């Protein structure tokens, strides 16, 4: 009998940092806010969402960014994994994780559009740090932003 190996941390959702070139020629951070989330009235996050049946992680990231933000599809080779964050699932024996990716593809601001479900926010390092201080970011996303994205950015 063959033993089946089960991933103890299957990915529940994929989120991606997409850099944006603004009018001033500086790279900024693209964040999104769900319009219909009453329980997160002021919180922003990276673009992304749940993996659909038949999708892999990169296909999910590519689809979610395109749906939420518009712009051309990001090639798979332009994604790099930043971190997998375990998520406690109460009452569930299977643990889940959130996968954070980083895109090497840089959008121009004029390539983006407001999605049907999200409000886009493009911020520089200083603005992102203020959002962190005032807890305007989803916690897992804030931790990734603080640890992996902001150190690479200029003011």
pLDDT tens column, 54-77: 999 999 999 999 999 988 889 999
Distances from the Cα of 64 to the Cαs of 51, 84, 92, 99, 127, in angstroms?
9, 18, 26, 13, 24
Looking at residue 36, its pLDDT comes to 74
Place 87 in a pLDDT band, splitting at 50, 70 and 90. confident
Is 8 exposed, middle or buried (CB count within 10 Å of its CB: 0-12, 13-18, 19+)? exposed
> DSSP assignment, residue 146?
I
pLDDT(5) > 70: no
pLDDT(49) > 90: yes
Max intra-chain CA distance, the chain: 62
Which run of H or E residues covers position 144? Answer: helix 139-144
Identify whether the C-beta of residue 24 lies closer than 8 Å to the C-beta of residue 127. Answer: no
In tens, the pLDDT along 122-148 reads 999 999 999 999 989 999 999 999 999
Domains of the chain: 11-152 (3.90.79.10)
> DSSP assignment, residue 149?
I
Looking at residue 14, its pLDDT comes to 96
**HSE (CB half, 13 Å, CA atoms) of 23?**
1
Looking at residue 6, its pLDDT comes to 61
Looking at residue 95, its pLDDT comes to 75
pLDDT(41) > 70: no
Looking at residue 103, its pLDDT comes to 95
Looking at residue 2, its pLDDT comes to 63
Place 21 in a pLDDT band, splitting at 50, 70 and 90. very high
């Amino acid at each position: 009998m063959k033993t089946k190996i089960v991933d103890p941390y299957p990915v529940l959702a994929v989120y991606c940092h997409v850099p944006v070139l603004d009018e001033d020629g500086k790279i900024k951070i693209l964040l999104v806010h769900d319009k219909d989330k009453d329980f997160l009235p002021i919180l922003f996050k990276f673009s992304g969402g749940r993996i659909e049946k038949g999708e892999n992680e990169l296909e999910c990231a590519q689809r979610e960014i395109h749906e939420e933000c518009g712009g051309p599809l990001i090639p798979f080779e332009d994604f790099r994994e930043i971190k997998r964050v375990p998520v406690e699932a109460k009452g569930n024996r299977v643990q889940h994780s959130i996968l954070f990716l980083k895109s090497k593809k840089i959008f121009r601001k004029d390539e983006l559009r407001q999605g049907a479900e999200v409000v886009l926010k493009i911020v520089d390092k200083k603005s992102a740090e203020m959002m962190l201080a005032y807890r305007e970011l989803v916690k897992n996303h804030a931790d990734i932003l603080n640890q992996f994205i902001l150190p690479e950015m200029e003011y």
